[in-house]
Chain A
Amino acid sequence: QVQLQESGPGQVKPSETLSLSCSVFGDSVSHTGFYWGWYRQTPGQGLEWIGSVDYRGTSSYSPTLKSRVTMSVDTSKNQFFLNLMSVTAADTAVYYCTRDPFLEWVLYSDYWGQGALVTVSS
Chain B
Amino acid sequence: DIRMTQSPSTLSASVGDRVTITCRASQSVSAWLAWYQQKPGKAPKLLIYDASTLESGVPPRFSGSGSGTEFILTISSLQPDDIATYYCQQYNNYRTFGQGTRVDI
Residues of chain A whose beta carbon lies under 8 Å from any beta carbon of chain B: 46-49, 60, 62-63, 96, 105-110, 112-115
Which 5 A-B residue pairings sit nearest by Cβ, starting from the closest?
A112-B43, A108-B34, A49-B95, A47-B97, A108-B49
Which B residues lie at the A interface, using CB under 8 A?
1, 32, 34, 42-46, 49, 55, 87, 89, 91, 94-97, 99-100
Query: When the two chains form their complex, are residues B97 and A112 in contact, meaning their CB atoms are under 8 A apart?
Result: no
Interface of A, secondary structure class, is loop
Kindly state the separation between the CA atoms of A62 and B1 in the bound complex, as whole angstroms.
10
Q: Contact partner of A47 among B44, B46, B49, B94, CB < 8 A?
A: B44
Contact A107 B32, beta carbon cutoff 8 Å: yes
Q: How many A-B residue pairs have CB under 8 A?
A: 46
Select the residue from A48, A110, A114 with max chain B CB neighbours within 10 A.
Answer: A110
Contact assessment for B43 and A47 in the assembled complex, using a CB-CB cutoff below 8 Å:
no
Question: Which of A46, A47, A49 gathers most chain B CB within 10 Å?
Answer: A47
**7 A-B contact pairs sorted by A residue (CB < 8 Å):** A47-B97, A49-B95, A49-B97, A109-B34, A109-B46, A113-B43, A114-B42
Decide: A46 and B100 in contact? CB cutoff 8 A.
yes
